[in-house]
Amino acid sequence: MFNLDNPSLLRSQAFINGDWCAAETQKTFAVENPATGAVIALVADLGIAETSRAITAAAKAQIGWAQTTAKARSQLLRSWFELLIQHQEDLAQILTLEQGKPLPEARAEIAYGASYIEWFAEEAKRIYGDVISPSTTDQRILVIKQPVGAVAAITPWNFPCAMLARKIAPALAAGCSIVAKPAAETPLSALALAFLAQQAGFPAGVVNIVTGTDSAAIGAELTGNPLVRKLSFTGSTAVGKQLIRQCAADVKRITLELGGNAPFIVLDDADLDAAVAGAVASKFRNAGQTCVCANRFYIQRSIYTEFGKKLAVAMEALSVGDGMDSGVNLGPLISSAAVKKVQALVDDALAKGARIGYQVKLDQKLFSQGYFYPPTLLLDVAPDAELTRQEIFGPVAALIPFDTDDEAIAMANNTEYGLAGYCFTRSATRIKQFSDKLEAGMVGVNTGIISNEMAPFGGIKQSGWGREGSHYSIEDYVNIKYLCENF
Ligand code: NAP
């Protein structure tokens, strides 16, 4: 099943204090290939005791790690980045087999994840303080930045490499240590990353990976243990709210990258071919399972029919299948539950008056063995259909017509989420209007792809707190200390 140049990258044990370890109970859990349903690995199923051990190790290691020079931390991060690039092909294969995305997309995710490590290798050296003018001549006011301490990270299954890299890299750059818990569906990419971190030479205890299926118990320890000074979470808004409540007990710092419900607005003066290309990139990447996926397409009425036709034609190029097969550009969903959820949302939209504009025909063999859903174009979706309120997290494009710009903005903002939004127009005035008025942490103008390591990724409203990537992200991993020196 795996055909790796370096088989050592495939780990089934957790990584604590520099050691690879089984669960104290010896329990394991199965990791499945969502394209086939086949079990591809049995991974250590840890609980509270091992999580606590990892936290103690991280807290101890952090003291020494914080005393290293920024240059030394930068060099280790750089070595880790280079190892990811060197092993990109193997890492991509592991990612595709556990997560399902097509191999070219998996390669791109490894490069994307690695780019955060490269970026923070550079940022490690640029964590600056301030010297502030005092009110008297016998004082000096200094502002220094210190690492927050040992941090915990909890990550989802949709980007098993990148979501972890963009937490671990700024944490290590700032002088923090980390205990990370990847999603139970996709622990193998995280463990491979930890193996390469070990190869790069990070001291024992600085990076720890806790694998397990009892996420509530592991999460309770990560949020409840006072040695953890900060939590960084990426996942659903529901779990994020639960973690806020848990972190309140000891006022733990918390960064949250939560769910989205991105509007994708096409105005009547847009370059329609560019808008269709942007729609395909935004909607169908990772089979529609990204937090910044276009979830609701608002198309101005005079171009609505033409846009729908062009999108249907573009969808004919979607080749659905096992991500390991060449030519495939859309893989399975993560689980049978995910397929059922998408089907229920489509059924609700159809019951409320939508019609199917186009649907990719799937090979029946795919249906019977993996968790596939056919890419679907829904036309004339009612503005109150359930899929306009919830993340679809599947390859379904829901088109809704509108008449005026104000109406589009009102519908786009009619959600508790505020992660990403997209707008296609050639008008400078409308670009300004939509950029200003869309309630989102990120707005793509005439593009469907917005994520990169130099930009601040994150949301407003119920999509989260804080930013990942860019120089802003480091701020989440440092405390500001003000020194008032009297002479
Ligand atoms: P999820 O169910 O919230 O799970 C995310 C992580 O939290 C997993 O590691 C999960 O572990 C863990 N978890 C679940 N319940 C927990 C609890 N009670 N305490 C502690 N940890 C717990 O989300 P998902 O379905 O994996 O991921 C999809 C969601 O992530 C979507 O809403 C998507 O929009 C969001 N997301 C957001 C961003 C962003 O940057 N804003 C990026 C990617 C994804 P187990 O899986 O092992 O239970």
Report the nearest-CA residue for atom 42 of ligand 1.
Answer: 291
User: Regarding the domain with residue range 7-258+463-486, which homologous superfamily does it belong to in the CATH classification?
Assistant: Aldehyde Dehydrogenase; Chain A, domain 1 (3.40.605.10)
Return all residues near 5 (Cβ < 8 A) that are at least 6 apart. Answer: 87, 89, 90
Ligand 1 pocket check for 234: Cβ under 6 Å: yes
pLDDT in tens, 398-416: 999 999 999 999 999 999 9
For residue 363, pLDDT over 90 is answered with: no
Ligand 1 contact, 291 CB (< 6 A): yes
Contact present, 57 and 201 (Cβ < 8 Å) = no
- 482: how many CB neighbours lie within 10 A of its CB? 11
For the chain, give every domain's residue range. Answer: 7-258+463-486, 262-452
User: Residue 431 pLDDT more than 90?
Assistant: yes
Mutation probe of ligand 1 site: the residue of 181, 215, 233, 416 with most atoms within 8 A of C-beta? 215
Token pair, residue 51, equals 């999580």
Distance 388 CA to ligand 1 centre (A): 20
Query: Does residue 140 contact residue 167 with C-beta atoms inside 8 Å?
Result: no
Q: Distance from the CA of 154 to the center of ligand 1, in angstroms?
A: 7
Measure 167 CA to ligand 1 centroid, in angstroms: 14
Distances (CA, A) of 162 to 112, 159, 218: 6, 5, 21
At residue 199 the predicted structure's pLDDT band, cuts being 50, 70 and 90, is very high
Atom index in ligand 1 nearest the CA of residue 259 equals: 34
Name the helix (H) or strand (E) containing 48: helix 48-66
Apex 418 CA angle, 275 and 277, nearest 5: 15
235 CB under 6 A from ligand 1? yes
pLDDT number for residue 143: 98
Q: Which residues, other chains included, contact 32 with Cβ-Cβ below 8 Å and sequence gap of 6+?
A: 38, 39, 40, 98, 185
Sheet holding 478-486, edge to edge: 130-132, 139-147, 478-486
Structure tokens at 305: 């029919």
Helix (H, G, I), strand (E, B) or coil at 320: strand
Q: What is the DSSP string of 171-224?
A: HHHHT-EEEEE--TT-HHHHHHHHHHHHHHTPPTTSEEE---S-HHHHHHHHHH
Sign of the CA dihedral running 407, 410, 415, 419: positive
Tokens in use for 458? 């994150």
Residue 53 has pLDDT above 90, yes or no: yes
Q: Is the CB of 287 under 6 A from ligand 1?
A: no
| pLDDT beyond 80 at 367 | no
Q: Which of 48, 51, 116, 158 has the most ligand 1 atoms within 8 A of CB, as the residue to mutate? A: 158
CA distances from 302 to 272, 289, 308, 383 (A): 12, 30, 12, 18
**Closest residue CA from atom 18 of ligand 1:** 216
Decide if pLDDT at 365 tops 90. no
Cβ(55) to ligand 1 under 6 A? no
| Position 297 pLDDT exceeds 90 | yes
Using a 6 Å cutoff on CB, does residue 208 contact ligand 1?
no
Q: How many whole angstroms separate alpha carbon 81 and alpha carbon 76?
A: 9
Tens-digit pLDDT profile for residues 98-141: 999 999 999 999 999 999 999 999 999 999 999 999 999 999 99
* Tokens matching residue 482: 């003000």
Query: Residue 368: which pLDDT band, with cuts at 50, 70 and 90?
Result: confident
> Which pair of structure tokens corresponds to residue 429?
């005035």
Instruction: Tell me which residue of 260, 299, 258, 264 sits closest to 283, measured CA to CA.
Output: 264
Q: Would you identify the CATH topology of the domain 262-452?
A: Aldehyde Dehydrogenase; Chain A, domain 2 (3.40.309)
Nearest alpha carbon, ligand 1 atom 6? 156
Q: Is 133 exposed, middle or buried (0-12, 13-18, 19+ CB in 10 A)?
A: exposed
> What is the length of the chain?
487
pLDDT at 293: 97
Mutate which of 154, 188, 209, 233 for ligand 1? The one with the most ligand atoms within 8 Å of its CB, which is: 154
CA 292 to centroid of ligand 1, rounded, Å: 14
236 C-beta closer than 6 A to ligand 1? yes
Does the beta carbon of 258 lie inside 6 Å of ligand 1? yes
Please check whether the two domains, 7-258+463-486 and 262-452, share a CATH topology.
no
Give the pLDDT confidence score for residue 1 in this predicted structure.
Answer: 86
CA–CA distance, 167 with 278 (Å, rounded to integer): 28
Catalytic residues: 257, 291
Q: What are phi and psi of 379, to 5 degrees?
A: -105, 155
Q: At what angle do helices 88-99 and 187-200 cross, to 10 degrees?
A: 160
Helix (H, G, I), strand (E, B) or coil at 480: strand
Indicate the angle between helix axes 70-86 and 103-123, nearest 10 degrees: 170
Instruction: Give the integer Cα–Cα distance in Å for 374 and 429.
Output: 38
pLDDT single digits (tens) 169-189: 999 999 999 999 999 999 999
**Torsion angle of the four alpha carbons 6, 12, 13, 16, in this order, in degrees rounded to the nearest 10:** 60
* pLDDT > 90: percent of the chain: 98
> 236 C-alpha vs ligand 1 centroid, how far in Å?
5
In this structure, which residue's CA is closest to atom 35 in ligand 1? Answer: 235
Return the number of other C-beta atoms located less than 10 Å from residue 74's C-beta.
Answer: 20
Residue 432 has a pLDDT of 98
Cα 182 to ligand 1 centre (Å): 9
418 lines ligand 1 (CB under 6 A): no
The answer for 302, left when phi > 0, alpha when psi is -120 to 50, beta otherwise, is alpha
| Nearest alpha carbon, ligand 1 atom 14 | 215
pLDDT at position 287, please?
98
Q: Does the pLDDT value for residue 366 go beyond 90?
A: no
- 191, 230, 178, 189: which is closest to 73 by C-alpha? 178
Label each residue of 419-454 as H, E or C: CEEEEECCCHHHHHHHHHHCCCCEEEECCCCCCCCC
Q: Is 409 in the pocket of ligand 1 (CB under 6 A)?
A: no
Q: What is the pLDDT of residue 364?
A: 85
Which residue in the block uniquely carries the two structure tokens 């397990």? Answer: 212
Helices (H), 87-186: 88-99, 103-123, 162-174
Mean pLDDT in residue range 195-216? 98
